[in-house]
């Protein structure tokens, strides 16, 4: 250490480490740098606070018991049970929405990227997807309620005497909530398709393959990571949405099946989000402990999904061509 001291005194940073310092920058730049740094730190603190607080409160109240017992309507909180039904509800709704959104989104993306003619129609489809992406979910929910209470859709949900259609069910909510995931699937798939150089498509045509064969056997396998990314992002959004389950799923405490085939899907239920809302001080319930525990489970699900997104997109580098 002391040997290097004379060098330091001369202001020599050494041959291998060029001097880098913002000390010589104009003041405006230094303030800007400071603000940018502070903004990043602030976000870290906020994210850390959410996760740590939910971890603390969640683990405090969470028990295995809560995960596997059904919720009951009871004034006495010790007898109101756990949140098994909302967990199943979230899973069902997420799966249902994804099953609808993924093929629809991939198909739309393929059409936009590989065909997209006439171009005015492509622009129309594009803005249609943008509108769907920008619509608040409560608006989607109200619109869905309007549609699915029509007599035409009576087979999707409970009906009352006099043929009044309830319009709230897993199928109805799943159909509308798929619109939340759809833009993510379309976006990620298009991005992946556009990243495939055109000579890869031409190589397939040059072997005498049709466009359809090229899409099915070359392009779709190549964009699978992109589809996975978009789908996982969309699943996270579905799992976290509250407005549609409240308005279109009935937000009941327990799953309630309709008599007949696929009764549960045609019946009402609740999700973790509606359960948290109902039990928190924001809703009517007064069981904040259970709300915290359920919120923690929900956060865990969403964080895991995002982790999955990272994993998928990192694997993407294996399939890459030179442009």
| Contact residues: another protein, CB under 8 A | 197, 199-200, 202-210, 212-213, 217-218, 221-222, 318-323
Nearest residue (CB) to another protein, 25 versus 205? 205
**Smallest gap from residue 320 Cβ to another protein (A):** 7
**Largest Cα–Cα distance in the chain?**
96
Radius of gyration of the chain (CA): 26
**Smallest gap from residue 154 Cβ to another protein (A):** 42
**Smallest gap from residue 267 Cβ to another protein (A):** 43
161 alpha-carbon distance from chain centroid: 38
**Smallest gap from residue 322 Cβ to another protein (A):** 5
- As beta bridge partners, residue 269 has 250
Phi then psi for residue 286, to 5 deg, are -135, 55
Nearest residue (CB) to another protein, 81 versus 228? 228
Q: End-to-end CA distance of the chain: give it in Å, rounded.
A: 50
Nearest residue (CB) to another protein, 196 versus 232? 196
Nearest residue (CB) to another protein, 8 versus 217? 217
Two tokens, residue 174: 């799943």
**Smallest gap from residue 221 Cβ to another protein (A):** 5
**Smallest gap from residue 189 Cβ to another protein (A):** 15
Q: Can you tell me the distance from the alpha carbon of 250 to that of 53, in angstroms, rounded to the nearest whole number?
A: 30
Nearest residue (CB) to another protein, 53 versus 205? 205
Nearest residue (CB) to another protein, 193 versus 294? 193
Q: Can you tell me the distance from the alpha carbon of 156 to that of 96, in angstroms, rounded to the nearest whole number?
A: 14
Two tokens, residue 19: 């001097």
Nearest residue (CB) to another protein, 213 versus 311? 213
Q: Can you tell me the distance from the alpha carbon of 50 to that of 135, in angstroms, rounded to the nearest whole number?
A: 27
- As beta bridge partners, residue 159 has 165
Closest to 308 in 3D by CA, of 199, 257, 222, 232: 232
Closest to 222 in 3D by CA, of 182, 195, 185: 195
**Smallest gap from residue 315 Cβ to another protein (A):** 12
Q: Can you tell me the distance from the alpha carbon of 37 to that of 41, in angstroms, rounded to the nearest whole number?
A: 6
């Amino acid at each position: 250490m002391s040997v290097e001291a004379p060098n330091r005194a001369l202001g020599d940073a050494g041959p291998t480490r060029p001097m880098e310092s913002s000390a010589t920058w104009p003041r405006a730049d230094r303030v800007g740098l400071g603000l940018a740094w502070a903004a990043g730190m602030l976000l870290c603190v906020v994210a850390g606070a959410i996760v740590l607080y939910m971890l603390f409160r969640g683990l405090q109240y969470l028990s295995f018991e809560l995960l596997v017992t059904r919720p009951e309507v009871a004034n006495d909180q010790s007898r109101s049970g756990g949140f098994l039904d909302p967990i199943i509800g979230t899973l069902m709704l997420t799966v249902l929405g994804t099953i609808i959104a993924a093929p629809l989104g991939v198909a739309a993306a393929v059409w936009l990227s590989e065909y997209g003619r006439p171009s005015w129609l492509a622009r129309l489809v594009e803005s249609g997807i943008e509108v769907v992406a920008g619509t608040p979910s409560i608006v989607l929910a109200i619109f869905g309620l309007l549609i699915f209470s029509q007599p035409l859709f009576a087979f999707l949900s409970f009906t009352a005497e006099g043929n009044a259609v309830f319009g709230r069910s897993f199928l109805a909510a799943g159909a509308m909530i798929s619109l939340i995931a759809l833009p993510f699937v379309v976006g990620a798939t298009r991005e992946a398709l556009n990243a495939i150089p055109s000579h890869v498509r031409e190589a397939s045509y040059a072997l005498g393959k049709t466009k359809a064969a090229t899409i099915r056997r070359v392009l779709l396998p190549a964009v699978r990571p992109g589809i996975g990314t978009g789908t996982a992002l969309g699943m996270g959004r579905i799992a976290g949405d509250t407005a549609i389950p409240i308005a279109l799923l009935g937000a009941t405490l327990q799953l309630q099946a309709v008599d007949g085939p696929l009764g549960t899907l045609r019946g009402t239920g609740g999700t973790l989000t509606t359960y948290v809302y109902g039990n928190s001080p924001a809703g009517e319930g007064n069981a904040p402990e259970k709300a915290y525990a359920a919120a923690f489970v929900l956060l865990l699900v969403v964080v895991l999904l995002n982790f999955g997104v990272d994993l998928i997109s990192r694997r993407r580098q294996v399939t890459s061509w030179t442009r």
